[in-house]
């Protein structure tokens, strides 16, 4: 399995969620967001990771996914700095 542009867009949306406050949601505005972000938000909703088609809150599964996505970003960014 490889990272497709669609998966990367979904990871980017997941990385925007504040994991310190699960009562803080996210809104992807259809009139100002990039089409790729709008489509990614819809796919996350379709997969059961968020509560709304335009973001909303993370579900339990979404919280796990966002935690893993954000951890991966930290690991990769730290690895780049160390090199």
| Phi, psi values for residue 60, rounded to 5° | -60, -45
pTM of this prediction exceeds 0.85: yes
- Return the structure tokens found at 51: 């509560």
The domain total for the chain is: 1
Domain of residue 44 covers 5-82
pLDDT digits (tens, 9 = 90+) for 14-63: 999 999 999 999 999 999 999 999 999 999 999 999 999 999 999 999 99
| Distance of alpha carbon 34 from alpha carbon 4, whole angstroms | 17
* pLDDT number for residue 83: 61
Q: How confident is the model at residue 1 (pLDDT cuts 50, 70, 90)?
A: confident
Contact call for residues 38 and 50 (beta carbons, < 8 A): no
pLDDT the model gives residue 82: 67
């Amino acid at each position: 399995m490889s990272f497709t542009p669609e998966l990367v867009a979904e990871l980017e949306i997941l990385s925007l969620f504040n994991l310190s406050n699960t009562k803080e949601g996210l809104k992807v505005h259809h009139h100002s967001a990039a089409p790729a972000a709008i489509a990614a938000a819809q796919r996350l909703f379709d997969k059961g990771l968020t509560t709304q088609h335009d973001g909303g809150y993370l579900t339990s599964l979404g919280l796990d996914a966002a935690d893993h996505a954000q951890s991966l970003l930290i690991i990769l960014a730290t690895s780049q700095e160390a090199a």
